[in-house]
Amino acid sequence: MAKKKKQDSSDTKKIEQLKKDHWEMENMTMTTNQGLKVNDTNNSLKAGERGSTLLEDFLLREKITSFDHERIPERIVHARGSAAHGYFELTKDMSKYTKAGIFTDTNRRTPVFVRFSTVAGSKGSPDLARDVRGFAVKLYTEEGTWDLVGNNMPIFFIQDAMKFPDLIHSVKPEPNNEIPQAASAHDTFYDFVSRTTETLHNHIWAMSDRAIPRSFRMMEGFGIHTFRLINDKNESHFVKFHWKPVLGVHSVTWEEAVKINGADADFHRRDLWEAIEAGQYPEWELGMQIVPDADEHKFEFDLLDPTKLIPEEMVPVTIVGKMTLNRNPENFFAETEQVAFLPGHIVPGIDFTNDPLLQGRLFSYRDTQLSRLGTPNFHQIPINSPVVPIHNNQRDGQMQTSIPKGQTAYFPNSLTGGCPHLAKMSEGAFHSYEERIDAKKIRTRSESFSDHFSQPALFYRSLAAWEQEHVAGAYTFELGKCTQDHIKERMLWVIAQIDKDLAEKVAEGLGMKIPKNIEKPINQAIGADADSKKHEPGAKKNYLDASPALSQANTKFDSIATRQVAVLLADGFDAKSLKAMKTMLEKEGAMAKLVAPHGGTIKDSDKNEHKVDSAIMTTESVLFDALYIPDGKASVDALLKQAKFIKFVNETFKHCKAIAADGEGERLLKSSFVKDHMKDKAIHVNDKPEAFKKSMAKHRNWERRSVSDSVPV
């Protein structure tokens, strides 16, 4: 009894302490690190609602500086990356729009270094996390280095850089328990998203197949922001940059992603490296969406809003050149890890706009590199060095590796003949676009940024049925990992603002109902004293029924180059059937990988030895794009003795991939779940290799999904 009373007393104290802590938290007023009370931590200080961010914004600089220096030395975001060298070649002279030499000289071959990355995870996280992918390109031009620092999604989560620390803090592992790693499926992220509806557009992209790409080589890249192009007449056009993969845009399913992370956490990194080593060089076409200055306000969305894209049906993408990656790094740390990308690295003919997220990035990225690389001399690291000479009066600093000569380090001077002298415009000097600014200094955001639902709805409407199913499944999985019902309810409400049918599918999966009345999350995106009505998200608009360019169902399906085909075989397989298939695959640039009951070598029907690529116990079907089983009774007899070969076939079928079998190989199919689905159009038995190739090029037979969920694995 005494023990029970003691326990009751302890519980009472805990409850009282929780009440006290809750009261203290409710009465906390936000301040700076110097105790200054803050009434807006969502918007940077601008020259007018749509104006540029001002350097004097000490609140922005304190918040961003603190965030940038949280961890050393890995990147706070984009920590896990892979990279490669290559080159860019211009195919269309764009001198009508820009004086940038990289876009006017079709005889140039500009060296590039490209880094792909996940965003949320640490350096040690797996490649197949559901996440946005970084797509950063360093172009070593003859006028200086240009960094196009983007992602594989054309928009971003937030509209103002002031919110970036909040976004990343919410998606990172929760600070009390450091869980989960490289995953957004937890309470803090959805608490933030559900109360910051500007995030919804990028978020629905992250719930789509775009967040789990098949390969870095098969994903798009975007500059995200609206930039300016300036021609030699000082005329300006708005521009958005696109990287279009020559192989098309392809993804894996979520179930595959989970299994790939277990089977090969370096799947994307290995894929990029091995493709280049094999001479299968990844390629992207560079495209531009160009908008005349006069048309800045003609759209029903704001060009300066980084959470908005321009549908390609409204402004087509003009292809201007091609990028090829043809060389792997010599040293991962020296190059991939030490490369420093800064959006502020531009060249004459390219300029910034007043996009408030871009404006903040211009400060944040340099500050971050100072923290990571420890010195303002990070440009002297070989991977960051421009291909043109450097002359200025900047001196000394940690890790100074150059030896500046001369008596002076100031300008103007007469002791060294005034050198380095200032460049003239005719000599290619950079000149900022002379945009007229006549506005009040104000901390807010433009009302034109307040449409939060129209473009997420457009994206969802534009997807194929199988893509929409994947989106609903992703929302259900992610919210199912949350523990707080009020967060799930709020998310169901905001999803319903995007699409009612989508919300109903997610609600059904969660065993919940869409709430009709809820505390709307709209006031969280503005300052405490701001007019909430002014910034309420507007009613959903339908200015375009669908944008087919947003769906992966409309990507390229004409190549099987670099595809990995698992060939299941054992001693005694038919040499002739394998040779015919390998001939076709190699001709098309695909790779046949021999998977056998054991490692080492196996013998074909002619007693020739073949090196095994993987023993069945060391690999998984999710690491391959298609499956082939050659003829040979002894071979198939051996395969049927190991259950994992049946599992391999079942999983390949389940994930809607192409399957081919010759002769006796059909017995393996008929010993699996496939036996009742032999008429599937992506199942090829004793068929021509060309027919198998066409099914592979389609990437997946999504019509199979009606039965794939019932496949036993």
Active site residues: 78, 151
Beta bridge partners, 573, equal: 604
Burial of 589 (0-12, 13-18, 19+ CB in 10 A): middle
Task: Please state the three-class secondary structure of 611-664 as a single string.
Answer: ECCEEHHHCCHHHCCEEEECCCHHHHHHHCCCHHHHHHHHHHHHCCCEEEECCC
* Separation between Cα atoms, residue 512 and residue 504, nearest integer Å: 9
Q: Residue 162 carries which side chain, given as an amino acid letter?
A: M
Q: Residue 99 carries which side chain, given as an amino acid letter?
A: K
Please say whether the beta carbons of 591 and 563 come within 8 A: yes
Nearest of 347, 340, 413 to residue 73 by alpha carbon: 340
Torsion of CA 135, 702, 698, 133, to 10 degrees: 0
667: DSSP letter: H
> Quick one: tokens of 387?
């291909």
Unique residue bearing structure tokens 């038995």: 685
Q: Residue 421 carries which side chain, given as an amino acid letter?
A: H
Please say whether the beta carbons of 598 and 612 come within 8 A: yes
* Separation between Cα atoms, residue 319 and residue 576, nearest integer Å: 44
Q: Residue 87 carries which side chain, given as an amino acid letter?
A: Y
Please say whether the beta carbons of 661 and 685 come within 8 A: yes
* Separation between Cα atoms, residue 410 and residue 291, nearest integer Å: 41
Tell me how far apart the 2 most distant CA atoms of the chain are, in Å: 94
Q: What are phi and psi of 230, to 5 degrees?
A: -120, 125
Nearest of 267, 247, 285, 256 to residue 563 by alpha carbon: 247
For the chain, first and last CA: distance in Å? 54
